[in-house]
């Protein structure tokens, strides 16, 4: 009888398993050139409803104490799931965390999480940002209570887990389910590796050879990380964060941080655990000439008493050319991971393949003209606030600007103009909202550059300005990424990126729009 029960049981189990397997494959497929994932899927089989619930939770600000910060606030898809433009991530009440938010992709291949690897299971990770006072500052029991009282969540949990019970395990596993689906393996490099067509240029292939020769074993394998903790010689005077040491308490782990992947670097700037390097050029410069010797600096970076990795200017260019092939554009736009999974506005879809640089968008449409004139007047208010370190004024003006841009009536505009406006507004609105929601000038400056850039793009493309407009670039502002702003005068002395503490920011470049 025993044997029969076992047989019946295993047959049933096998059926169940194969059923789960099929559903799972649709949601998570191991790319053919990737190693086996380490996440134990059998403990948390992915289901469409589980992944959908995880996504809803990921983008829900209910997870934070004052309902303003979601996981997606610091992990934005277009930024490779990092926080766009922020050296150190910003959480609740604009508090700064001590590190750069890590990119989220290919998490099924990680055994521990965070820059210091303090969390040893993906399912346990979310508790950390949720309860960190500088991130979401909430408690897990409170979040579960909020979910239980919500109108929508009990039904979503029931769909995902069979009953409407909301508990720690289900909450965490749903978040993991969504994050596990975030596989990035469709860069040009990946397609080339899988022989799916598209070749790497000679320069790119030389860059790959250099990466394999000079950047391995740390950035090794198709995931471009060995997942170890290393001290990469960043000067410690700037930041006393001891990284891995705080977890292991071993002296040899002082100032060590996880080796990050080299994938999607185009989206995830700035770089390093504290975001101190703004560009890939700066990163390579650090490895060739900026290594600081210390008790724990990685031996690979100090060979025969010689600091750094020997790299010629040409080699650096080739490496950077290769790194560009690791950018997975489709991942950064995949609607499965987007905050809004609604299809793009029909106006936009129609012009999806338009090369906007080649289209003449000049217009006399009175609504567009008057709106952009008004927008500039609010923009001066934001800039004035930043010039005088008055975050309140910037915030107030940004709110007015946001309200104006949001409510523009484009019914009289031509379809192509409408589409272009909506396209630019996706970014312009985002940055304006961020300037509006805080009174911290530091945070406002993180978004002011892109805000200026996109407002200028609208005015320039529609050619709506009556007076000349000057576009300033200050290459060293915003952590080396560069700061941009507009002005009506051609010899402006002030710099909204440094406010009252006027500092040198490199050669300021000015472009005129007459």
**Does 137 interact with another protein (rule: CB under 8 A)?**
no
With vertex at residue 120, the alpha carbon angle to CA 114 and CA 121, rounded to the nearest 5 degrees, is 100
**Does 172 interact with another protein (rule: CB under 8 A)?**
yes
Tell me the pairing of strands 509-513 and 469-474. Answer: antiparallel
Q: Which is nearer to another protein, 20 or 144 (CB)?
A: 144
Q: Which is nearer to another protein, 120 or 333 (CB)?
A: 120
Q: Is 448 exposed, middle or buried (0-12, 13-18, 19+ CB in 10 A)?
A: buried
155: tokens are: 């039904």
Cα separation, 354 vs 17, in Å, equals 47
CB of residue 41 vs another protein: minimum separation in angstroms? 12
Among 4, 22, 36, 141, binds another protein (CB under 8 A): 141
Q: Which is nearer to another protein, 56 or 248 (CB)?
A: 248
Cα separation, 195 vs 357, in Å, equals 33
C-alpha distances in Å from residue 197, one per residue of 264, 276, 327: 20, 37, 16
Cα separation, 446 vs 423, in Å, equals 21
Q: Which is nearer to another protein, 240 or 411 (CB)?
A: 240
Choose the binding region for another protein from 71-79, 109-117, 183-191, 418-426 (rule: CB under 8 A).
Answer: 109-117
Count interface residues toward another protein (CB under 8 A): 36
C-alpha distances in Å from residue 321, one per residue of 245, 298, 332, 403: 35, 26, 19, 41
Q: For residue 55, give the nearest of 68, 46, 65, 44 by alpha carbon.
A: 46
Choose the binding region for another protein from 65-73, 247-255, 299-307, 455-463 (rule: CB under 8 A).
Answer: 247-255
246: tokens are: 């705080």
Q: Which is nearer to another protein, 41 or 351 (CB)?
A: 41
Q: For residue 98, give the nearest of 80, 86, 107, 84 by alpha carbon.
A: 86
CB of residue 180 vs another protein: minimum separation in angstroms? 14
**Beta-strand (E) ranges in 91-247?**
229-230
**Does 120 interact with another protein (rule: CB under 8 A)?**
yes
Choose the binding region for another protein from 29-37, 117-125, 419-427, 469-477 (rule: CB under 8 A).
Answer: 117-125
**Does 291 interact with another protein (rule: CB under 8 A)?**
no
Tell me the pairing of strands 306-307 and 257-258. Answer: unpaired
**Does 43 interact with another protein (rule: CB under 8 A)?**
yes
Among 10, 14, 19, 40, binds another protein (CB under 8 A): 40
CB of residue 68 vs another protein: minimum separation in angstroms? 20
Binding-site ranges for another protein (CB under 8 A): 5, 8-9, 12, 40, 43, 111-112, 114, 118-121, 123-124, 127-128, 130-132, 139-141, 143-144, 167-169, 171-173, 246-250
């Amino acid at each position: 009888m025993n044997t029969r029960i076992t047989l019946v049981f295993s047959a049933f189990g096998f059926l169940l398993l194969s059923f789960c397997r099929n559903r799972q494959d649709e949601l998570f497929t191991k790319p053919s050139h990737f190693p086996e994932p380490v996440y134990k899927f059998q403990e948390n089989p992915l289901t469409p409803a589980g992944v959908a619930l995880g996504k809803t939770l990921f983008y829900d600000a209910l997870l934070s104490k004052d309902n303003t910060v979601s996981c997606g606030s610091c992990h934005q898809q277009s930024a490779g799931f990092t926080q766009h433009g922020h050296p150190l991530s910003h959480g609740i009440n604009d508090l700064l965390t001590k590190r750069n938010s890590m990119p989220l992709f290919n998490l099924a291949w990680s055994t521990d999480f965070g820059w210091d690897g303090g969390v040893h299971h993906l399912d346990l990770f979310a508790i950390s940002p949720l309860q960190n006072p500088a991130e979401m500052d909430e408690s897990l029991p409170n979040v579960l209570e909020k979910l239980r009282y919500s109108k929508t969540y009990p039904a979503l949990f029931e769909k995902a887990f069979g009953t409407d019970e909301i508990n720690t395990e289900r909450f965490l596993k749903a978040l993991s389910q969504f994050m596990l689906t975030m596989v990035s393996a469709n860069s040009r490099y990946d397609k080339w590796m899988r022989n799916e067509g598209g070749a790497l240029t000679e320069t790119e292939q030389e860059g790959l050879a250099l990466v394999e020769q000079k950047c391995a074993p740390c950035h090794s394998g198709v995931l471009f990380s060995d997942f170890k903790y290393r001290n990469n010689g960043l000067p410690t005077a700037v930041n006393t964060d001891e990284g891995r040491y705080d977890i292991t308490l071993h002296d040899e782990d002082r100032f060590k941080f996880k080796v990050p992947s080299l994938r999607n670097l185009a989206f995830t700037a700035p770089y390093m655990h504290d975001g101190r390097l703004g560009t890939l050029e700066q990163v390579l410069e650090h490895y060739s000439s900026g290594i600081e010797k210390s008790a724990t600096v990685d031996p690979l970076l100090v060979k025969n008493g010689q600091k750094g990795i020997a790299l010629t200017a040409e080699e650096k260019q080739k490496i950077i050319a290769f790194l560009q092939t690791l950018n997975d554009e489709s991942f950064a736009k995949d609607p499965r991971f987007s905050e809004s999974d609604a299809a793009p506005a029909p106006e936009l879809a129609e012009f999806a393949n338009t090369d906007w640089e080649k289209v003449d968008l000049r217009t006399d449409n009175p609504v567009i003209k008057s709106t952009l004139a008004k927008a500039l007047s609010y923009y001066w208010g934001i800039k004035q606030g930043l010039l005088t370190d008055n975050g309140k004024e910037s915030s107030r003006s940004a709110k007015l600007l946001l309200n104006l841009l949001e409510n523009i009536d484009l019914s009289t505009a031509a379809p192509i103009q409408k589409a272009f406006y909506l396209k630019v507004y996706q970014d312009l609105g985002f940055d304006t909202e961020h300037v509006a929601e805080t009174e911290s000038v530091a945070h406002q400056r993180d978004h002011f550059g892109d805000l200026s850039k996109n407002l200028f793009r609208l005015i320039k493309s529609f050619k709506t300005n009556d007076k000349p407009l000057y576009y300033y670039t200050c290459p060293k502002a915003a952590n080396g990424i560069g700061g941009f702003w507009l002005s009506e005068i051609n010899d402006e002395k002030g710099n909204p990126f440094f406010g009252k503490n006027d500092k040198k920011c490199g050669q300021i470049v000015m472009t005129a729009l007459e």
